[in-house]
Structure 1
Amino acid sequence: MGDDRQEKQEQPNNGEPINLKQLAAILQLSQTTVSLVLNNSPSAKSIPTRTRERVLQAARKFHYRPNYFARSLRKNRSMSIGVMTPDLSEGYFTMVMNGVEEYLMRAQYFYFTASHYWDQDLMIEYPRMLAERAVDGFLFLNTPSEIRSPLPTVAISAHNNSPGVTNIILDHSKAAELALRHLYDLGHRKIAFIKGPNIIPDTEYRWRSILEVARQLNLKVQAEHCIQLDADSWSPEVGFEPMRDLLARTRDFTAIFCFNDISAIGVIRAIYDAGLSVPEDISVIGFDDIMSAAYHKPSLTTVRQPLREMGREGAQILLDMISNPEKQFPEEIVMQPELIIRESTGLAAVQRGKRRA
């Protein structure tokens, strides 16, 4: 493998990107050795470190470009997947895709992203269009279960009941327990709730869990203290306006559990605009733990979904499905939430009074 060989300095094609054969000739190494290094093959561990470094440095220097079509024909795959998502907004999508991209980049896989914006026609049309582009499989993010495909498919937060689909979901019962027990231990007994839009698959699963945990804690979920979001949105306005209206009707509650962090940020603004404070007058809990949650003022107490981990897990399982079509995969993988306590929750007013006494 010629660890002491020196690569030739001249570059063919007048500086244009080179292929594997040309790169191997420059390095005076076999194409097999260069390929193992560039593809990060397990067999590359047997190649001396200095040789691996030379290959990677030369690939960058001479603008090596892999032969995509040759690799696709050799593996009988397009080395790409299709990702279906409601939108590309900050929050859920951003963090899940961080995990997806991290894994796909290491695996040298490409992906196409299609946003359906909850349009039923697009939900049907886009998978067909992606299949026509020869994707090897599908990753459905937070996208309803009506979508079916003969290709390997992983659904994240989508609750897809189609045969052969692996679902990655959150333990919503645990999430509800973490949030409501936290508020209960702080002395909150009158709690308001923001329920998610009906179009989001997680909404009903989470809401049923909230009702069950509330029953166990003997907390009354009163209809007049509940907000139903009409639409999924990336803007805190989605929580601001409903909370403003709720406060105009009643202030007979000491805490609110929001469907997501985006709505919680809007809720906090509405509370301050009403002349109240967080958490002194009303405690606020969000959901997801988006990147800005820790930097809001007050910083947001929230139920953290392991969104990056869910993305990585989804990408890993999907590529495993593609590589091993005869292998059996679980119908469901349940991820665990975590309560992140910050500044937006505190003792209920009645509890503060007792402590001062």
Structure 2
Amino acid sequence: MTIENPDTPVHEPSPRSSLKDLALHLGLSQTTVSRVMNNSAEAYRISADTKARVLAAAAKVNYKANHFARGLRNKRSQTVGVIVPEISDGYSTSVLGGIEDVLLLGGYFYFVVSHRHRAELLREYPSLLLSRAVEGIIAVDSAIDGNLPVPVVAVSGHLHGRFTVNIELDHLLAARYALEHLHRLGHTKIAFIKGQSFSSDTRARWRAICKVADDLGIAINPRLTVQLEGTALGHDPGRVAAVRLLESGQPFTAIFAFNDLSAMGAIVALREAGIHVPSDVSVVGFDDIPSAATNNPPLTTVRQPLQEMGRVAATMLLERIRSEEARQQNRPTLILPTFIERQTTARAAGLRKATEPVLLRTTR
């Protein structure tokens, strides 16, 4: 509990006030002021009135906590590293948004590096970040070495290491949501677009799809199963994959895509072939990135709570940085998906035969 002394001399802080000046002005201890400025008032049971006084006085003189100086005193850099495959519309940016929310509140800076699936960068980036004295690393869908000397939290990374913990989606539940939805609509001839071989989630998600399809009696036709290829950003990989499905000669009434961007690309390919979504073919995506709701038509998808996954990752990393006991805990954290039904799925209207081969036009 903090006790204020009304007889303490009051000093008007200057525009270049230090923590000591601010404490003298308010008649409080430097420790109390420091705890308020470092977002720890509640933890130390500092009253709401005292917190408000400190913040008002700090705002008046534009005082900010010096996290760098605090880090030097504590022999900490107050920085972490974040490794992502790429920074674009979609998965990584949504996860980064959640990570940023927590790190900024906790007074931590962060470096972000994107490897674009280049093996040499995946090998080099952990050492590069460690050379910048990061206190921990968050790996987003990136297969790095988990045996690092700092805490590592992997988002959909499926990593192994002494100080590594994984945040994973419940892929079995996700597959059940999507396939049960299509099955209820009468779809049994379903085409699948798998993720690239380098994506950490590809194998786990495909195992879940095969398990649920078997439970529902849905036969998976290998000729209606294609895999995303290459590292190009945007819709085009999904568009190329859908063209391969159309050229297979196999009839289908629905596509379940690995992610929203590939689902959007598939819709483009279907439209170019004169096939209407969803009256001819239904399409289900995965992730629920921001543009999924504004796609034409709005995309039915399995929602990963991407921002929440980022917030959980950053919270767990800070806990592991601050606590040796937390660092020793490596049980995976399972995140639950939800299903978002929009306008790209409808009842199967009868099998649509594959079209004549489609002339592939590469989008620039």
- Do both share a fold (TM > 0.5)? yes
SS in 2 for 1:82: strand
Instruction: Return the offset for 1:188.
Output: 0.4
Q: Does the residue aligned with 2:276 lie in a helix, a strand or coil?
A: coil
TM-score, structure 2 as length reference: 0.88
1:344 alignment counterpart: 344
Q: Distance in 1 between matches of 2:11 and 2:276?
A: 69
Cα–Cα, structure 1 residues 183 and 67, in superposed 2: closer, same or farther, change >3 Å? same
Contact kept, 8 Å, 1:195 with 1:226, in 2: the verdict is yes
**Equivalence map 1:1-357=2 (5 Å):** 1=4, 11-13=14-16, 18-42=17-41, 46-250=45-249, 252-327=251-326, 328-350=328-350
Partner SS for 1:77: coil
Deviation at 1:337, TM superposition (A): 1.2
Contact 1:124–1:147 under 8 Å retained in 2: no
| Cα distance in 2 between the residues matched to 1:233 and 1:3 | 66
How far apart are residue 269 of structure 1 and its match?
A: 1.5
Deviations 1:150-169 (CA, angstroms, capped at 9, x unpaired): 11111110000223311111
1:33-83, Cα deviation, whole Å (9 max, x unpaired): 211211122457644434322321232332223333431133332111111
Distance apart, 1:143 and its partner CA: 0.4
3-state SS in 2 of match to 1:63: coil
- Given that 1:178 and 1:303 are in contact with CA atoms closer than 8 Å, whether structure 2 keeps it comes out as yes
The residue aligned with 2:356 is none
Task: Give, in whole Å, the separation in 2 of the partners of 1:78 and 1:97.
Answer: 20
Q: 1:313 to 1:302 in 2, by over 3 A?
A: same
Give SS of 1:292's match: helix
Q: Percentage identity across aligned positions? A: 45
Displacement of 1:2 in angstroms is: 5.7
**CA gap 1:176/1:10 in 2 versus in 1, 3 angstroms:** closer
Deviation at 1:225, TM superposition (A): 1.2
Which deviates the most, 32-41 or 188-197?
32-41
CA distance, structure 1, for counterparts of residue 151 and residue 167 of structure 2: 14
Matching residue's letter, 2:108: Y
- Compared CA separation, residues 299 and 6, structure 1 to 2 (3 A): farther
- SS class of match (2:139): strand
The alignment of Structure 1 onto Structure 2 pairs a total of residues equal to: 347
Query: Can you list the C-alpha shifts for 1:166-196, whole angstroms capped at 9, x where unaligned?
Result: 1111111111111111111110010001000
Seen in structure 2, the aligned counterparts of structure 1 residues 4 and 244 have a Cα distance that, compared at 3 Å, is farther
The 3 A distance-change label for structure 1 pair 46 and 202 is closer
Are 2:68 and 2:78, in contact at CA under 8 Å, matched by a contact in 1? no
Quote the Cα distance in structure 1 between the aligned partners of 2:288 and 2:345. 15
- Asked whether the 8 Å contact 1:279–1:345 carries over to 2, the reply is yes
When residues 232 and 88 of structure 1 are mapped into structure 2, their CA distance, relative to the original with a 3 A threshold, is: same
CA shift for structure 1 position 128: 1.0
Distance 2:45 2:5 in 1: 13
Q: Aligned partners of 2:102 and 2:67: how far apart in 1?
A: 19
Query: Which segments of 5 or more consecutive residues in structure 2 lack a partner in the other structure?
Result: 352-364
Q: Which ranges of structure 1 fall in alignment gaps of 5 or more residues?
A: 352-357
C-alpha distance in structure 1 between counterparts of 2:42 and 2:168, whole Å: 35
Tell me the distance in 2 between the aligned counterparts of 1:33 and 1:163: 37
- Residues 146, 152 of structure 2: 8 Å contact kept: no
Q: Is the 8 A contact 2:187 2:253 kept in 1?
A: yes
CA distance in 2, matches of 1:7, 1:258: 66
Alpha-carbon distance in 1 for matches of 2:122, 2:247: 38
Residue 59 of structure 2 aligns to a residue whose secondary structure is: helix
> What is the RMSD of the two structures over their aligned residues, measured on CA atoms?
2.3
What are the superposed Cα offsets for residues 237-295 of structure 1, whole Å, 9 maximum, x if unpaired? Answer: 12112213432443610000000001111111211111111110000000001111112
Q: Which has the higher helix share?
A: 1
Give secondary structure in 1 for the equivalent of 2:240.
helix
SS at match of 1:192: strand
Letter in 2 for 1:11: S
Q: TM-score, normalised by structure 1?
A: 0.90
CA distance in structure 1 between the partners assigned to 2:36 and 2:168 by the alignment: 36
Structure 1 Cα separation of the partners of residues 82 and 304 of structure 2? 20
CA distance in 2, matches of 1:69, 1:40: 16
CA distance in 1, matches of 2:44, 2:162: 39
Tell me the residue number matched to 1:354.
Answer: none
Tell me how far 1:23 sits from its aligned partner. 2.8
